Each structure stands twice: as structure tokens, then as C-alpha cells.
Amino acid sequence: MLGPPLLPSPEDIAAMESAVRTWAAGQAAERVQALLLGVTPRIAGMQWPRATRLLAVDRSAAMLHAVWPGDIPRVRYGICASWLDLPRSARSSDVVIGDGSMNCLRYPDGFRLLCRSVCRVLKTDGIFVLRCYVQPGRQEVPDAVFASALNGTIPTFHQFKFRLLMALQASVDYGIKVDDVHQYWASRNHQKTDWPSRAGWSREDVETMELYRGSSTVHTFPTQAEWHAALHEFFEEISISTSPYALAERCPTMVLRPRRGWAE
């Protein structure tokens, strides 16, 4: 079971709900057409405006079957498709929303392709609500992350794993392959049975590192300046907010609108 910051907290969901509610209050549309990048259950189940129809898109059929909380006729449904070729017509969506979605893509080319795809389906007055993962301006080193863990100053294994992912990224262009994180962890973790008690974590949470073994998944963690460079061509920033939990400063929620004059 994952937890914040690897999943949105209740405060993150409240920020997303507020952004959508504020946008909807200024619109006359009878129905909100929303599109979710991924199948995040907490977003699917959040408080949407009445008469919202939500389409969730994930390229992984396995994720769709394992994580999606289920279709509800005329309310929400999930399909398997590419984010870079979203299965909606141009200017058909009021809200596009995602949690860490862009961090699954390569920087900068993958970011630009997704921005273009989102802009294509968003109405000119629509919004893009995105919780994103941001590399600190001064990147941590892996030894410092391990030292903090052994000192008992990282409360959860999820926070440790999140910090280690960012610390091991060699460059934003390369990103970090999660199997490399597992290999590094294994090389440093010779006395595996001691870790949960020494760091104060549950053994069940520590064992989630095994999900990274052999995986080809790559995550990308741009700095705030690099995020701005990738988004600026396509979007204008309406707001940016953070929640009160540990490391939330690395997980802001951005509310964006298509830049006027953007052309496909």
C-alpha cells in the first residue's frame, strides 16, 4: 500500500476539488466533461460538480483492471489508451486532471507531447489540474537520504523512497529507472531484517521496494524552473498550492489554462 507523497493526500484532493469547483462556478455548462490521466482512485472518487462525466485514460490494461474503482454508467468510465493521443475530439474537455502524470514521461520531449495532447482536447476556457513532482533546487545525495533514514528522521518508507528516487536521478534528461533504485537499495541494504526496526517503518511498506525489481519504468523529476520551461509554451498558470504534509513542497498542485494563441 502506497501513501503520500507517492499518492495524493486528502489535502491534495481537497485542493483539486477546490480548483474544479471554482472553475465550474464561473461556467454555464450543464455538464462538466472531465478527463483523468491515469486511474487514481482518490481522484475518481473525489467530490466532482454535479453532472460531471469522467473519462480515465491509462495505457496499462493491468493498471486499469487492478486500480480503477469501477465504471458508473453516465458518470465515469475508464479505458486503455495513450495520453499522447487522447481519445477525445478537439476542444471537448472542460477539465483535464492528473497526479504525477507528467513525471512518467521523458523530459523535455515527452512533456511537450503531453502538453500538446492536453491542449488539443481542452476547451479554450478549460483547466489542467496537475499534481507534479519537483526536484529541489539543491539535489540531495543518496548517502544523505540513507543517513536520515538510519537516524529515524524519515517517518515513512514512502517518503524515503520518494527522496531516494530524486537523489538518484543523474539528470532530468535521463530521469531515473526504478530498477536502478532497487539495485542501489539492495547494494546498501545487506541486513534487510534490521531496516524496519532501525528506521521505524513497517515491514510491509519496506517490501514495496520489490515492485521496482526488474521494472523498466522511468520517472523524471524536473526542477521548478524546468517545469516552467516545459509548460510555458502551452499553458498559463492560474495557481499553485502545496499541502501541509512532509515533502509536500516537492508535490505542488498546479492549475493551468491553455495559453491564448496556442495552435496545434
- Compute the average pLDDT of residues 228-247: 94
Task: Tell me the per-residue pLDDT of 6-34, one tens digit each, with 9 for 90 and over.
Answer: 899 999 999 999 999 999 998 877 789 99
> What is the DSSP secondary structure assignment for residue 207, as one 8-state letter?
G
**Which CATH superfamily groups domain 10-134+222-258?**
Vaccinia Virus protein VP39 (3.40.50.150)
Percent of the chain surpassing pLDDT 70: 96
- 241 three-state secondary structure: strand
CA distance 147 to 144: 5
Confidence band, pLDDT 50/70/90 cuts, at residue 263: low
CA distance 68 to 120: 25
Where do the domains of the chain lie? Answer: 10-134+222-258, 142-219
In 76-121, beta strands by DSSP E: 76-80, 93-99
200 CB-side CA count, 13 A: 11
Dihedral sign computed on CA atoms, order 225, 82, 182, 7: positive
CA distance 245 to 10: 10
Confidence band, pLDDT 50/70/90 cuts, at residue 132: very high
- 218 three-state secondary structure: strand
Task: Tell me the per-residue pLDDT of 36-64, one tens digit each, with 9 for 90 and over.
Answer: 999 999 999 999 998 999 999 999 999 99
Threshold 0.85, pTM exceeds: yes
- Are 39 and 62 a contacting pair, CB within 8 Å? no
